[in-house]
Structure 1
Amino acid sequence: MSIRKKILIYFSATVILLTGLSLVFIYTLFAEYREEEFQQRQKEKITTTFNFLTETQRMDSDILQSLEEVTIQKIYDEKLLIFDGDKQLIYESIDDTEIDNPEEILKMLSSENNWIETKDGLYDVVGIYFQSERKSYYGISKAYDAFGYTKLDFLRKVLVFTFLLITVIVIFVSIYLSRKISKPIMEITRKIRNYNFESENSPIEIEESENEIGILASRFNELMKRMKEAFSFQKHAIHHISHELKTPISVLVSNFEKIENETDFDTVKKHIANQKEDTKSLSEIINALLEISKAETGSQVLKDRIRMDELIFDIADELQAIAPDFNFFISYAHIEDDESNLTISGNQRLMRSAVTNLMMNCILYSEEKNATINIRSLAGKIQVEFINRGETISDKEEQYLFQHFFRGTNSKGKKGFGLGLIFIYKIMQIHQGDICYKKKGKDTNIFSISVPLSGF
Structure 2
Amino acid sequence: MKITFKLTILFTFITAEILFLFAFIIFQYAKNDREAEFYDRIKIKAYVKGELFFDAKASATTLQDIHMNNLKVMNEAEIAIYDADFNLLFHDNQASDRIKETPEMLTKILKKGELQSYIGEWQMIGVTYHFGSKKYIITSIAYDHYGYNKIDDMYTHMVYAYIFSIVVICLSGLFFARKAFEPVKAMTRKVNKITASKFNVRLEVKSSKDELSALANTFNEMLDRLENSFETQKSFVSNISHELRTPLSAIIAELELSLSKSHKKKGYREAIQNTLLDAQRLVRLSSSLLDLAKASYDPSEISFKEIRIDEILLDARQMEQKLNAKHKIDIHFDVDFENDQEMLISGNEYLLKVAFANIFNNGCKYSFDKRCSVNVSFENSKIILIFSNKGIGINPDELDSIFKPFFRGENKQIAHGNGIGLSLTQKIIVLHKGNISVTSQKNKETSFTVMLPLASF
TM beyond 0.5? yes
- Matching residue of 1:435: 436
Determine the C-alpha separation between the residues in 2 that align with 1:433 and 1:204. 37
- The counterpart of 2:100, out of the listed 99, 105, 108, is 105
Determine the C-alpha separation between the residues in 1 that align with 2:125 and 2:456. 96
- The counterpart of 2:123, out of the listed 122, 125, 144, is 125
- Matching residue of 1:451: 452
Contact 2:383–2:452 (CA<8 Å) still a contact in 1?
yes
SS state of the match for residue 125, structure 1? strand
Determine the C-alpha separation between the residues in 2 that align with 1:383 and 1:31. 89
Q: For residue 420 of structure 1, report the CA deviation from its aligned partner.
A: 4.4
Summarize the Cα distance change of 1:389–1:297 in structure 2 as closer, same or farther, 3 Å threshold: closer
Determine the C-alpha separation between the residues in 2 that align with 1:285 and 1:216. 42
Q: TM-score, normalised by structure 2?
A: 0.67
- Matching residue of 2:80: 82
> Relative to structure 2, which stretch is displaced further, 38-47 or 109-118?
109-118
- Matching residue of 1:172: 172
Q: For residue 126 of structure 1, report the CA deviation from its aligned partner.
A: 1.8
Contact 2:435–2:450 (CA<8 Å) still a contact in 1?
yes
Determine the C-alpha separation between the residues in 2 that align with 1:279 and 1:90. 131
Q: Does 2:316 align with 1:317?
A: no
Q: Does 2:16 align with 1:16?
A: yes
Determine the C-alpha separation between the residues in 2 that align with 1:130 and 1:23. 38
Determine the C-alpha separation between the residues in 2 that align with 1:187 and 1:335. 64
> Relative to structure 2, which stretch is displaced further, 80-89 or 277-286?
277-286
Aligned length: 436
Summarize the Cα distance change of 1:145–1:137 in structure 2 as closer, same or farther, 3 Å threshold: same
Q: For residue 59 of structure 1, report the CA deviation from its aligned partner.
A: 8.6
Q: For residue 11 of structure 1, report the CA deviation from its aligned partner.
A: 1.2
Summarize the Cα distance change of 1:187–1:286 in structure 2 as closer, same or farther, 3 Å threshold: farther
Q: For residue 364 of structure 1, report the CA deviation from its aligned partner.
A: 6.6
Summarize the Cα distance change of 1:89–1:295 in structure 2 as closer, same or farther, 3 Å threshold: farther
Task: Give % identity.
Answer: 21
Determine the C-alpha separation between the residues in 2 that align with 1:225 and 1:417. 28
- Matching residue of 2:387: 385
Letter in 2 for 1:109: M
Q: Deviations over 1:288-313 (max 9, x none)?
A: 54454355454744668463442454
SS state of the match for residue 110, structure 1? helix
Q: For residue 252 of structure 1, report the CA deviation from its aligned partner.
A: 7.7
- Matching residue of 1:332: 332
Q: For residue 90 of structure 1, report the CA deviation from its aligned partner.
A: 2.1
Determine the C-alpha separation between the residues in 2 that align with 1:250 and 1:360. 26
Determine the C-alpha separation between the residues in 2 that align with 1:243 and 1:347. 31
Output aligned runs, 1:365-384, within 5 Å.
Answer: 373-378=373-378, 379-384=381-386
Summarize the Cα distance change of 1:128–1:154 in structure 2 as closer, same or farther, 3 Å threshold: same
Determine the C-alpha separation between the residues in 2 that align with 1:201 and 1:343. 48
Q: Deviations over 1:386-420 (max 9, x none)?
A: 455435243xx666554455556776998766554
Q: For residue 6 of structure 1, report the CA deviation from its aligned partner.
A: 0.9
SS state of the match for residue 108, structure 2? coil
Contact 2:126–2:138 (CA<8 Å) still a contact in 1?
yes
Q: For residue 209 of structure 1, report the CA deviation from its aligned partner.
A: 6.3
SS state of the match for residue 265, structure 2? coil
> Relative to structure 2, which stretch is displaced further, 278-287 or 350-359?
278-287
- Matching residue of 2:30: 30
SS state of the match for residue 106, structure 2? coil
Q: For residue 436 of structure 1, report the CA deviation from its aligned partner.
A: 2.6
Q: For residue 57 of structure 1, report the CA deviation from its aligned partner.
A: 0.4
Q: For residue 336 of structure 1, report the CA deviation from its aligned partner.
A: 2.5
- Matching residue of 1:95: none
SS state of the match for residue 111, structure 1? helix
Q: For residue 15 of structure 1, report the CA deviation from its aligned partner.
A: 0.9
Letter in 1 for 2:38: F
Runs of 5+ consecutive residues of structure 1 not aligned to the other structure: 93-97
Contact 1:362–1:386 (CA<8 Å) still a contact in 2?
yes
Q: Deviations over 1:110-161 (max 9, x none)?
A: 212663533776xx43242535454543423324364786598579758965
Determine the C-alpha separation between the residues in 2 that align with 1:438 and 1:157. 87
Runs of 5+ consecutive residues of structure 2 not aligned to the other structure: none
SS state of the match for residue 332, structure 2? strand
Determine the C-alpha separation between the residues in 2 that align with 1:214 and 1:442. 53
Contact 1:46–1:141 (CA<8 Å) still a contact in 2?
no
Q: For residue 52 of structure 1, report the CA deviation from its aligned partner.
A: 3.2
Q: For residue 56 of structure 1, report the CA deviation from its aligned partner.
A: 0.5
Q: For residue 287 of structure 1, report the CA deviation from its aligned partner.
A: 5.0
Letter in 1 for 2:137: Y
> Relative to structure 2, which stretch is displaced further, 10-19 or 72-81?
72-81
Summarize the Cα distance change of 1:411–1:281 in structure 2 as closer, same or farther, 3 Å threshold: closer
Q: Deviations over 1:203-245 (max 9, x none)?
A: 885777686x788777767766776677667666656755776
- Matching residue of 1:48: 48
SS state of the match for residue 57, structure 1? coil
Q: TM-score, normalised by structure 1?
A: 0.67
Q: For residue 429 of structure 1, report the CA deviation from its aligned partner.
A: 3.2
Root-mean-square deviation (CA, aligned residues, Å) is 5.5
Q: Does 2:8 align with 1:5?
A: no
Determine the C-alpha separation between the residues in 2 that align with 1:52 and 1:150. 31
Determine the C-alpha separation between the residues in 1 that align with 2:393 and 2:292. 31
